[in-house]
């Protein structure tokens, strides 16, 4: 089953509670928080005050995507603030095995993210210890970008390696996901589909989520 994971980066921060309430209404179980430091990516977003405020507001799982240069320092701080899942970029981790274990030791699910230019085979030695792998389907830093189709080949490769090795990590995709590609995303083997603009910039986020879920379910149930 595919879960739609709304990214609050595309929400209205002045009415964040109301926006989150809408996605709860649609049956969402998890929301995505994009943490950017202005170094790893050319943009800033939010710090722990937002995590704490959202944590007080909802019981939804809080999925933190750390687009920052120093995840070893900040992952524990975000977990203390309320993060349930924390993903770190392969491209910045010098001791990835240690970082993954550190996140798990702090009580969160640990994910590893790969940018569009990073191949799946580089994750071979951590697939057995991660809780999820996040495939970037845009270059990180901004919402509302165009989906990069090659990301689906990477998802299929991860799904194949997972089944060959009998592993159980989840596969997440992030960037440019919407009604026009959710069927392909689901068929490729994605478990968690992050959606920012296609949810919060839609006329009605509840309808947008439900409709994408329906399309995804139909896509997986049709055998070709
Ligand atoms: C991009 C972020 C994404 C972004 C997705 O760097 O990691 O999570 O918010 O936004 P959309 O769905 O608009 O591409
Ligand atoms: Zn993200």
DSSP state of 130: -
Active-site position among 19, 63, 131, 174: 174
Q: Which atom of ligand 1 is nearest to the CA of 175?
A: 14
Active site includes 72? no
Contact indicator for 177, 190 with CB cutoff of 8 Å: no
Q: Provide the residues around ligand 2 (an ion) whose CB is within 5 A.
A: 34, 65, 174
Which one of 3.30.365.10, 3.20.20.70, 3.30.565.10, 3.90.226.10 gives the CATH number of domain 3-221?
3.20.20.70
What region, left, alpha or beta, does residue 74 occupy, with left being phi > 0 and alpha being psi -120 to 50 degrees?
alpha
Residue 115 CA, ligand 1 centroid: distance in Å: 13
Count how many Cα atoms sit within 13 Å of the Cα of residue 127 in the half-sphere of its side chain. 18
Model pLDDT, residue 224:
58
Residue 223 CA, ligand 2 centroid: distance in Å: 31
Give the pairing of strands 170-174 and 192-195: parallel
Model pLDDT, residue 223:
60
% of the chain at pLDDT higher than 70: 99
Q: Which atom of ligand 1 is nearest to the CA of 7?
A: 9
Q: What's the pLDDT band for 99 if we cut at 50, 70, 90?
A: very high
Cβ contacts of 178 within 8 Å, gap of 6 or more: 147, 195, 197, 198, 212
Give, to the nearest 10 degrees, the angle between helix 205-221 and helix 16-25: 40
Local structure of 188: helix, strand or coil: helix
Residue 124 CA, ligand 1 centroid: distance in Å: 26
Q: What's the pLDDT band for 7 if we cut at 50, 70, 90?
A: very high
**Mean pLDDT of the region 71-94:** 98
Residue 138 CA, ligand 2 centroid: distance in Å: 10
Model pLDDT, residue 153:
98
Count how many Cα atoms sit within 13 Å of the Cα of residue 73 in the half-sphere of its side chain. 6
Ligand 1 within 6 A of CB of 9: yes
Model pLDDT, residue 222:
77
Residue nearest to atom 3 of ligand 1 (CA): 175
Contact indicator for 192, 170 with CB cutoff of 8 Å: yes
**Mean pLDDT of the region 35-59:** 97
Model pLDDT, residue 189:
98
Q: Residues 121-167: pLDDT tens digits? A: 999 999 999 999 999 999 999 999 999 999 999 999 999 999 999 99
Ligand 1 within 6 A of CB of 22: no
Strand order across the beta sheet in which 170-174 lies:
3-6, 192-195, 170-174, 132-136, 109-114, 85-89, 61-67, 30-36
Ligand 1 within 6 A of CB of 10: yes
């Amino acid at each position: 089953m595919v879960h739609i994971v709304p990214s609050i980066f595309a929400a209205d921060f002045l009415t964040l509670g109301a926006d989150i309430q809408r996605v709860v209404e649609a049956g969402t179980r998890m929301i995505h928080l994009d943490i950017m430091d202005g170094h790893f990516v050319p943009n800033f977003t939010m710090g722990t005050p937002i995590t704490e405020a959202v944590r007080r507001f909802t019981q939804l799982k809080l999925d933190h995507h750390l687009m920052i240069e120093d995840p070893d320092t900040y992952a524990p701080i975000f977990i203390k603030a309320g993060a349930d899942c924390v993903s770190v970029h392969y491209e910045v981790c010098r001791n990835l095995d240690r970082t993954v274990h550190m996140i798990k030791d702090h009580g969160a699910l640990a994910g590893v993210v790969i940018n569009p230019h990073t191949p799946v085979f580089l994750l071979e030695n951590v697939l057995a210890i991660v809780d999820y792998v996040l495939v970037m389907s845009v270059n990180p830093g901004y919402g509302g970008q165009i989906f990069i189709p090659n990301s689906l080949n990477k998802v299929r490769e991860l799904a194949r390696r997972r089944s060959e090795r009998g592993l159980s990590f989840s596969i997440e995709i992030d960037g440019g996901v919407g009604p026009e590609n959710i069927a392909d995303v689901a068929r490729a083997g994605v478990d968690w589909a992050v959606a920012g603009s296609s949810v919060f910039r839609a006329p009605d986020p509840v309808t947008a989520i439900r409709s994408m879920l329906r399309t995804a379910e139909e896509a997986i149930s049709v055998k070709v």
